[in-house]
């Protein structure tokens, strides 16, 4: 019998897991995918917004402004990479400048700690590639960019380190309320029992709710497509650039990323299939058309990839973070779309302390360790540290991913460990091998061989992502 079962290990589920791991409560996190952060948290802009446009007083507003601040603590405790970019919200004419003024009011009401209005020219002094048509900007210096996979990994690793159990490839197939506890059926065969259920299932959070009651909201999933520019465009812009927000969302942005890449996007459209994240001709065209409104000379020839992400827009306007009205002990984290990533550090404590009140029933752990060691990025370390590591392990000397300078030892470490990955995609999420200019052309074969060797399996059993997604169909000449 568990005290808490968390359904979903995206950024939100992981943040809750970490918060719960502070308490002497037996906690399990179940994730249906083959990895942490594999659906919404997999594909988004990676922005930690300032909190400038959610409705004042809403959870979105309060938790994102608080979350933004808490990332400073997370950076230190959990070694989460942060890029302090700041942001400009752009206006192109008088009509839009009025909207900027309104946005400023919202910014102030939401208690965003820093903000400034600049003329287009002043902004262009700071960002020379800003579009010439921009006449005014709202500057939001507290805007940051992070690496969402690493946020989820960091929270979950820390949670595991502090006693939380994590299981992947476990899809919840039914939930029953029995005599004061819940029975959770997984993959149609296993049963877990728990006193409390935390539904952090993202786009499927209404489906999970549907298993025991009429859920208090419906997810209306939206898709957003993006282009990724190679990290050699680093410095093209240094701020996150926003257009004015509309009912479609924040609009097509130009976003510098932690490793130097730049994202263009997202587009925004409602989709029927919750897990359908394909890119479309129209979506990609839309991004190209609108990103030029923000910046001049966008180096489109440096596009190395496009992808699509899903957001769990819901029939509620705000985050739905409440206990079920009908089934006590069942808690919803619903509609956590943007600014979900921003609010993540605040959502965990908010749910655990304010909504559940875990401290009323469970003691804090005296040996809770808030620290999680940073993931080693060898070629970003200072020279002396590199030399010391090379003395420890020669495999730091063999470069596997030439484009991003990722070493064999980093890949081996990404395979092993409590949150290690056995798949090509999982390795890429952890250490970026294959995420560069050649998109795995040079290194995928080598990574495949390392996985096979480290796990003592045949290359035929190496997975791309899903356990069923093996890379190879067969070895030639073997069955003859």
Partner 1 sequence: MMKDVIVIGGGAGGLAAAIETHQSRKDVLLIERETFLGGILNQCIHNGFGLEVFKEEYTGPEYADQFIETFLEEKIDYLLDTTVIGLRKENDVFFVKTSSEKDGIRFFQAKAVVVSTGSYERTRGQISIPGDRPYGVITAGSAQRYLNIDGLLIGKKVFVLGSGDIGLIMARRMKLEGAEVLGVAEIMPHSNGLTRNIVQCLNDFDIPLYLSHTVTEIIGDDENRLSKIKVSKVDESFKPIEGTEKEFEVDTLLLSIGLIPDVTLLDELKVEIDSRTKSVKVNQAYETNIEGLFVCGNALQVHDLVDNVTLESKRAGQAVNRYLDKGKADVHQSIYLNPGNNLGYVTPQRIDMDIIQDYITLSFRSNKKMEKAICKVFQNEDIIFEKKLVFVLPAEMETIKLPFEKINEVGDIRVELEVRS
Partner 2 sequence: MKKEFICIVCPRGCHVSVDDEMNITGNQCPRGKTYVENELIAPTRILTTTVRTSFEDQPRISCKTDKPIPKELIFEAMKIINHIMIDKDISIGDIIIENILDTNVNIIATKPSRKKE
Chain residues binding partner 1 by CB under 8 A are 227-228, 232, 276-281, 283-284, 303-307, 379, 386-387, 390, 394-399, 402-403, 405, 407-408, 424, 437-442, 444-445, 459-460, 464-466, 468-469, 471-477
The partner in contact with residue 307, picked from partner 1, partner 2, none with C-beta cut-offs of 5 to 8 angstroms by kind, is partner 1
Is residue 425 classed as helix, strand or coil in its secondary structure? helix
Question: How many CB atoms within 10 Å of residue 289?
Answer: 11
Which C-beta is closer to partner 1: that of 105 or that of 398?
A: 398
Which residue spans within 42-93 are E strands per DSSP?
47-48, 82-83, 87-91
Q: How far is the CB of 452 from partner 1 (least distance, A)?
A: 10
Give one word for 188, left, alpha or beta, with left for phi > 0 and alpha for psi -120 to 50. Answer: left
| Binding characters for partner 2, 418-437, by CB under 8 A (x = yes) | --------------------
Residue 165 or 296: which CB sits closer to partner 1?
Answer: 296
CB of 467 to partner 1, least distance (A): 8
DSSP secondary-structure letter at 347?
A: H
Strands, sheet with 47-48, edge to edge from the N-terminal-most edge strand: 47-48, 144-146, 82-83
Widest distance between CA atoms in the chain: 75
Residue 456 CB, shortest distance to partner 2, in Å, is 14
Closer by beta carbon to partner 1, 95 or else 477? 477
The residues pairing with 406 across neighbouring beta strands, listed in sequence order, are 401
Scan residues 438-477 and list those touching partner 2 (CB under 8 A). 476-477
Q: How far apart are the two ends of the chain, measured CA to CA in Å? A: 52
Minimum Å gap between C-beta 292 and partner 1 is 16
The answer to whether residue 416 is catalytic is: no
Q: Contact, 386 vs 397, CB < 8 A?
A: no
Of 296 and 461, nearer to partner 2 (C-beta) is: 461
Whether 367 contacts 359, CB under 8 Å: no
Minimum distance from residue 33 beta carbon to partner 1 (Å): 10
Contact partners, residue 462, CB within 8 Å, separation at least 6: 422, 423, 424, 448, 451, 452, 470, 471, 472
Nearer to partner 1, 99 or 437 (CB): 437
279 binds, among partner 1, partner 2, none (CB under 5 to 8 A by kind): partner 1
Number of Cβ within a 10 Å radius of residue 469: 13
Position 480 contacts partner 2 (CB under 8 A)? yes
Nearer to partner 1, 83 or 399 (CB): 399
Active-site option among 49, 52, 92, 239: 49
Compute CA distances 79 → 248, 411, 426, 466, whole Å: 34, 19, 19, 28
Judged by CB under 8 A, the number of residues near partner 2 is: 4
Distance separating alpha carbons of residues 460 and 59, to the nearest angstrom: 48
The item of partner 1, partner 2, none sharing an interface with residue 99, based on CB under 5 to 8 Å by kind, is: none
- Does 95 help bind partner 2 (rule: CB under 8 A)? no
Q: Which of the choices partner 1, partner 2, none does residue 128 contact, using the CB cut-off of 5 to 8 A by kind? A: none
Do residues 76 and 129 make contact, with C-beta atoms less than 8 angstroms apart? no
DSSP state of 23: B
Binding site for partner 2 (CB under 8 A): 476-478, 480
- Positions marked active-site: 49
């Amino acid at each position: 019998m568990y005290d808490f079962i968390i359904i979903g290990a995206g950024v939100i589920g992981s943040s809750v897991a970490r918060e719960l791991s502070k308490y002497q409560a037996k906690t399990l996190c179940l994730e249906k995918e083959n990895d942490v952060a594999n659906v919404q948290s997999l594909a988004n802009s990676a922005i930690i917004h300032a909190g400038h446009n959610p409705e004042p007083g809403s959870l979105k507003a309060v938790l994102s402004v608080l979350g933004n601040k808490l990332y400073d603590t997370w950076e230190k405790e959990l070694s989460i990479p942060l890029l302090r970019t700041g942001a400009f919200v752009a206006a192109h004419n008088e009509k839009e400048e009025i909207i900027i003024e309104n946005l400023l009011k919202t910014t102030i009401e939401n208690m965003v700690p820093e903000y400034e209005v600049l003329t287009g020219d002043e902004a262009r002094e700071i960002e020379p590639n800003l579009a010439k048509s921009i006449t005014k900007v709202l500057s939001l210096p507290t805007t940051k960019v992070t690496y969402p996979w690493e946020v989820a990994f960091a929270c979950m690793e820390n949670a595991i380190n502090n006693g939380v159990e994590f299981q992947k490839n476990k899809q919840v197939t039914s939930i029953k309320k029995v005599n004061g506890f819940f029975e959770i059926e997984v993959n149609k065969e296993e049963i877990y029992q728990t006193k409390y259920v935390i539904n952090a299932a993202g786009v499927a959070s209404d489906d999970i709710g549907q298993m025991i009651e009429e859920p208090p909201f419906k997810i209306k999933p939206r898709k957003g497509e993006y282009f990724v520019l190679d990290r050699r465009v680093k410095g093209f812009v240094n701020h996150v650039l926003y257009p004015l927000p509309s009912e479609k969302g924040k609009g097509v942005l130009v976003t510098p990323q932690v490793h130097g890449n730049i994202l263009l996007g997202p587009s925004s459209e409602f989709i029927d299939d919750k897990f359908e994240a394909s890119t479309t001709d129209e979506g990609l065209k839309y991004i190209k058309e609108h990103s030029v409104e923000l910046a001049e000379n966008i180096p489109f020839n440096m596009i190395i990839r496009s992808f699509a992400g899903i957001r769990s827009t819901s029939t509620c306007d705000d985050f739905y973070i409440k206990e079920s009205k009908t089934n006590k002990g069942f808690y919803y984290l619903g509609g956590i779309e943007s600014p979900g990533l921003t609010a993540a550090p605040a959502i965990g404590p908010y749910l655990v302390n304010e909504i559940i009140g875990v401290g009323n029933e469970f003691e804090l752990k005296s040996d809770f360790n808030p620290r999680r060691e940073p993931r080693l990025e060898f070629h970003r370390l200072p020279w002396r540290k590199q030399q010391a590591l090379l003395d420890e392990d020669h495999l730091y000397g063999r470069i596997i991913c030439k484009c991003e300078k990722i070493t064999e030892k980093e890949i081996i470490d990404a395979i092993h460990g409590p949150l290690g990955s056995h798949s090509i995609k999982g390795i890429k999420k952890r250490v970026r091998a294959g995420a560069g200019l050649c998109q795995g052309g040079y290194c995928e074969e080598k990574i495949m061989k390392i996985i096979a060797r480290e796990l003592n399996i045949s290359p035929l059993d190496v997975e791309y992502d899903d356990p069923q997604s093996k890379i190879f169909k067969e070895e030639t000449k073997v069955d003859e």
